[in-house]
Structure 1
Amino acid sequence: MTTSGLAPRLRIHDVDALRGFALLGILLVNITFAASGYPIHVIEDPSYDSGLDHVVRWLSSTFVDMKFYLLFSFLFGYSFQLQLEAAQRAGAAFKPRMLRRLGGLFVIGWLHMVFLITGDILTVYALIGLILLAMHKVKDKTALYVALGIYVWLLFAMGSTGLFMDTSAMFDPAASLVAAQETTANLGGSFGDVIGEHLKALPLYGLSQVTLQGPTTLAALLIGMVAGRRRLLSNVTGQEPVLRKIQLIGFPVGILGGAIYASSGGNGDVLGVLASVMTAPLLAAAYVATMLRFFHSDRGTSLGKALAPAGRMALSNYIGQSVATLLIFTGVGFGLVGQVSPLEMVVIAFAIFGAQMVLSRIWLNQYTYGPVEGVLRGITNGTRPTWRKGVTTS
């Protein structure tokens, strides 16, 4: 038995590697909100209007936006199930532990989105995790039906809005441009100005969570929970025929939906957003299948090994990405907000994540848990935080 009261068990390497891959995708999205005040107002910065700028934005909208938080959520649901089963095997009380964990996650997420960056996924996990906790005994079929029902509802609600309502009156390009310029200026100001912008964005962010990201996150969590029950990511060889089938379906459908979203103006078009929402799970699944096949190939083994440490410290790295972008772009640090092109954002994102992969490996050579993971583990167990070397749990 470990000091936490849970029976020892080995981590699943593929889960950690996939989580690291998801972190990179999340950074590619989040860096756009840290580097400019324009995305939060759903408008492009007119200072970057070259053909290359538009191509980079289009590629990001097609292949990245709305995909990686689904993958991250799926893995959260998968790990939730592993933690539940570990507690059951050890005879430990799972519910109070998970409630403490979700409470700690909410506080960390709230501090994150107030002080570090616009928006946050941790508070969403904390709140929706309560629903997952309430549903953890439902049958697999019920969980999958609920996930499917969420997407059917979004298809009906967003489709009706896009087809029968005039949403153009809700968006004033001139006003959005002025607001975006003001936000960019404030992000380049003092720490108080930066916090002020984060707080101003909370109502819009909250609306997005209630109407779109929250429901799709719940669907991904439920699917992840079912996958965890069936151990779908255990003992993967990369040769499973189903992985190839997922790629053959997921890539063409997912890329088509992403291309429609990107070509219709991104978040400014309801039907374009709907196309991405409906197809993003398929593209995310295709990414998973591709990475699993690659991790288990001769050429891809080293990539999986490089990504896994970053995935083991996913919470610390998620927070660390926001610290890095705060220091690079806002007035708290170098003040480069509004001065970086879309392509330069991508380069900076890869540089940050590359550094995190190296630092994660160095840290885990000395400690079992990441800095923030150790704190959250202490909250979960009701003990003092610890980062010592020892047996780990997923």
Structure 2
Amino acid sequence: MTDTVGSSIRSDPDPRLLNVDALRGFALFGILVVNIWAFADPYYASTQTNPAFDSGADHAVRFLISLLFETKFYLLFSFLFGYSFTLQMAAAERARTGFVPRMLRRQSGLLAIGLLHGAVLYYGEILSTYAILGLILLACRNISPATATKIGIGLVVAVGTVWMLLGIAQLAAGEVTGSSAVDAATKLSAFRGDAPATLGFHTGHLPDTIGALAALQAPSAMAMFFFGFAAGRVRMFAHPDRYRAAMRRVLSFGLPIGLFGAVIYASAAAYAPGGGIETFAFGLGQLTAPALTATYVVAGLLLFRSDRGRRIESALAPMGKIALTNYLMQSAVLGVLFTGYGFGLVDRLAPATVVAVVAVVFTAQVVASRWWLRGHRYGPAEWALRAVTLAALPPWRRSRQTVS
């Protein structure tokens, strides 16, 4: 017996949406820009400034990362997760298979991949959080787009308000700045040590990090799941021209609101880290970051409608099509570069050089993704997750008889 997934999901064949894949590729770029600091700088997520890189230029780079990337791109990835959830619903309906068992297997596989990734490659991984939150979305799969939007808005407002009130309480108690959130010396020793030392650091920090992510990111990610789900139910990316007027309103209002909160957040992180001021600014950022993320989505969709934009879309789409593999590969490459798994370059590169590394790694992934998909339907991680989802082995190699 097939599961009912709602009348607004059509069962007719729907070609793979390049704009979804391209935005997912863009999201991977932003995630790489943020995550690399957890490998390259032992003082990242600390109240201390790295004494080895304390110039004005160094501070400017870190400020721009906080302004434009931190707390924005995991939201974009979360939005796309919610949208892709509706594509999974449509795929299950076309295949005339039960959606709930299929998604339970998929989320279980994602959880296993996430925990393994966090224990071995990057203790700050978010896949396991997505796996759990996806079960909530599964339970809400039959709600209307309007209801999903209202729930998302409610979560954003609630999360932002709670954090701002907590910041006010800290300030009232005299907590203007805080203590270091990360023991830089411990990370430096582990990442400059051997592979077992690095492995021990990741494994040892994973439980605490999962708890921190549950408090800091999970509620906002859940809100973006609902926003993406609502967009998917109306098939916004399949018919972007229908929403062009609404998109321009998002740019007009979302950009200034998002930038305002981002400036406050980045300034607090730079000049008053760890205490009540940063907590309040984080709460304000939680309120406004979805607006900036929305402008990224809208700007991408509008850009992709132009001739130059279609070339960018075509370049990014293969990266996004195998996003899970590329996300895991980012952690593996950064581990080889900065930790005891390889060259141990932690705390040896200036911030501007770290940004250059981002450009090189991402460009290499774009090229490698296009090359890989010439001969394969899925990335290695996507293939494994699809096998778990379908409880069957999907084709590994691409052939003339298979279609993507």
TM-score category (smaller protein): over 0.9
Candidates 293, 307, 321, aligned match of 2:316: 307
In the alignment, what sits opposite 2:220?
216
Superposition RMSD in Å: 2.0
Identity of aligned residues (%): 41
Tell me if 1:230 matches 2:234: yes
Candidates 175, 184, 208, aligned match of 2:188: 184
Shift of 1:251: 1.5
**TM-score (structure 1 length as normaliser):** 0.93
In the alignment, what sits opposite 1:131?
136
Whole-Å Cα distance in 2 between the matches of residues 57 and 29 of structure 1?
A: 10
In the alignment, what sits opposite 2:386?
377
Structure 2 residue matching 1:141: 3-state secondary structure: helix
Candidates 17, 32, 37, aligned match of 1:27: 32
In the alignment, what sits opposite 1:146?
151
Structure 2 residue matching 1:339: 3-state secondary structure: coil
Candidates 264, 270, 290, aligned match of 1:281: 290
User: Which segment drifts farther, 80-89 or 305-314?
Assistant: 80-89
Tell me if 1:297 matches 2:309: no
In the alignment, what sits opposite 1:3?
none
The 3 A distance-change label for structure 1 pair 196 and 248 is: same
Shift of 1:238: 9.7
| 2:32 counterpart letter in structure 1 | L
Tell me if 1:172 matches 2:179: yes
Shift of 1:167: 7.1
Whole-Å Cα distance in 1 between the matches of residues 59 and 371 of structure 2?
A: 38
User: Which segment drifts farther, 112-121 or 305-314?
Assistant: 112-121
User: Which segment drifts farther, 280-289 or 33-42?
Assistant: 33-42
In the alignment, what sits opposite 2:254?
250
Whole-Å Cα distance in 2 between the matches of residues 167 and 114 of structure 1?
A: 37
Superimposed CA distance per residue, residues 125-167 of structure 1 (whole angstroms, 9 cap, x where no aligned partner) = 1010111111111222322222122122213311221112337
Shift of 1:252: 1.2
In the alignment, what sits opposite 1:366?
375
Q: Is the 8 A contact 1:8 1:391 kept in 2?
A: no
| 1:304 counterpart letter in structure 2 | E
Shift of 1:93: 0.6
Whole-Å Cα distance in 1 between the matches of residues 262 and 104 of structure 2?
A: 36
Which runs of at least 4 in structure 1 moved beyond 6 Å after TM superposition?
none
Shift of 1:388: 2.7
Residue ranges of structure 1 left out of the alignment (5+ in a row): 1-5
Residue ranges of structure 2 left out of the alignment (5+ in a row): 1-10
Q: Is the 8 A contact 1:238 1:293 kept in 2?
A: no
Whole-Å Cα distance in 2 between the matches of residues 155 and 40 of structure 1?
A: 20
Shift of 1:50: 0.4
Candidates 105, 113, 127, aligned match of 2:110: 105
Structure 2 residue matching 1:366: 3-state secondary structure: coil
Q: Alignment length, in residue pairs? A: 384
Candidates 355, 359, 364, aligned match of 1:350: 359
Superimposed CA distance per residue, residues 210-242 of structure 1 (whole angstroms, 9 cap, x where no aligned partner) = 222001111101111111000011133599222
Whole-Å Cα distance in 1 between the matches of residues 149 and 47 of structure 2?
A: 33
| 1:333 counterpart letter in structure 2 | G
**TM-score (structure 2 length as normaliser):** 0.90
Shift of 1:39: 1.2
In the alignment, what sits opposite 1:83?
88
In the alignment, what sits opposite 2:59?
54
Listed as ranges, the matches of 1:261-276 within 5 Å are 261-265=265-269, 268=274, 269-276=278-285
Whole-Å Cα distance in 1 between the matches of residues 377 and 139 of structure 2?
A: 30
Shift of 1:378: 0.6
